[in-house]
Amino acid sequence: MYILAQTISMTGAIDADPYAVLGVLVEGAVRTIIQHIPPEQQAETSATLIRLLQERLEAHGIVTGDRD
């Protein structure tokens, strides 16, 4: 996990396209849920992932908790 996190952090240093990096991360999350989370837990895991992303973005002031 540490190596994965460090690799992701280094993408800025190598001028990787940040939009492509985000796309790869999202696709990796989806594939992880589909391939490694039991089907009966996939919906809950997906909802938790969405909440976590929302919370982290809010913590950094990028988005607010207001949802239309």
- Mention every residue, 6+ apart, whose C-beta is less than 8 A from residue 30: none
Q: Distance (Å, rounded) from C-alpha 43 to C-alpha 37?
A: 10
Confidence (pTM): 0.79
Mean pLDDT of the chain, nearest integer: 92
Q: Distance (Å, rounded) from C-alpha 44 to C-alpha 47?
A: 5
What single DSSP character describes residue 54?
H
Q: Model confidence over 21-40: pLDDT tens digits? A: 999 999 999 999 999 999 99
